[in-house]
């Protein structure tokens, strides 16, 4: 299973994303999507698009996207949200939610900082894909391609836009 992961597009979808996510089974957007049209364009690239709303998402985007998703892909329990923190600095209540739901992969956005951090205490991998859009202070825009095999993250490619 191959997943394209992005966050913080802020209504801008780089044309290179279509090429990098071509062939993905799913695309996950970790919030701050901007215009709902971004979701429609992502759905043209992959058959399944899972997305959560971020703190800038309103109107149609907020109606279409929950704040948090918990789901299973290829036997791996996933939590997708926009603001969740990271190992050692989880948002209030997040550590309990991760533990109670036996999450193996947590994906969030918001910081515009690419992070891939294992949490040995909770036996999970935390991923923040960084920011794919132009708004924000990031110097480098990034997206990720994740391969899941046998209920585990098997490979992760960082793509610089």
Q: What is the pLDDT of residues 70-118, one digit of tens each?
A: 999 999 999 999 999 999 999 999 999 999 999 999 999 999 999 999 9
pLDDT digits (tens, 9 = 90+) for 15-50: 999 999 999 999 999 999 999 999 999 999 999 999
Sign of torsion over alpha carbons 62, 49, 111, 74: positive
Which of 42-56, 65-79, 129-143 is the least confident region? Answer: 129-143
pLDDT at residue 138 greater than cutoff 90: no
pLDDT of the residue at 136: 78
For the chain, the C-alpha Rg in angstroms (whole number) is 14
Is residue 84 a contact partner of residue 131, using CB atoms and an 8 Å limit? no
Contact 140, 158 (CB under 8 A): no
* Greater pLDDT, 160 or 136: 160
User: Measured at the alpha carbon of residue 29, what is the angle toward residues 28 and 34, in degrees to the nearest 5?
Assistant: 155
CB 27, CB 46: distance < 8 Å: yes
With CA atoms as reference, report the closest residue to 143 among 50, 18, 11, 53. Answer: 18
List the beta strands (DSSP E) in the chain.
Answer: 2-6, 26-29, 48-51, 68-73, 76-81, 85-86, 89-90, 105-107, 114-119, 124-129, 142-149, 152-160
Distance CA 50, CA 8 (A): 14
pTM of the model: 0.97
Question: What sections of the chain are H helices per DSSP?
Answer: 16-21, 37-43, 59-64, 94-100
Q: Which pLDDT band, with edges at 50, 70 and 90, does 135 fall under?
A: confident
C-alpha triplet 22, 125, 79: angle, nearest 5°: 70
Whether residue 137 is predicted with pLDDT greater than 80 in this model: the reply is no
- Phi, psi of 77, deg, nearest 5: -80, 125
Q: Tell me the two tokens of residue 65.
A: 């996207």
Is 57's pLDDT higher than 80? Answer: yes
């Amino acid at each position: 299973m191959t997943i394209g992961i992005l966050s913080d597009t802020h209504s801008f979808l780089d044309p290179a994303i279509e090429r990098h996510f071509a062939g993905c089974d799913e695309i996950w957007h970790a919030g701050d999507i901007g215009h709902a049209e971004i979701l429609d364009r992502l759905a043209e690239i992959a058959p399944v698009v899972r997305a959560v709303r971020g703190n800038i998402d309103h109107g149609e985007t907020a109606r279409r996207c929950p704040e948090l998703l918990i789901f299973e892909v290829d036997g791996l329990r996933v939590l997708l949200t926009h603001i969740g923190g990271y190992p050692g600095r989880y948002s209030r209540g997040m550590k309990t939610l991760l533990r109670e739901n036996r999450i193996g992969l947590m994906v969030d956005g918001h910081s515009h900082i690419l992070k891939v951090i294992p949490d040995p205490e909770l036996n999970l991998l935390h991923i923040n894909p960084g920011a794919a859009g132009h708004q924000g202070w990031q110097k480098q825009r990034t997206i990720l391609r994740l391969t899941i095999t046998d209920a585990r993250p098997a490979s992760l490619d960082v793509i610089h836009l």
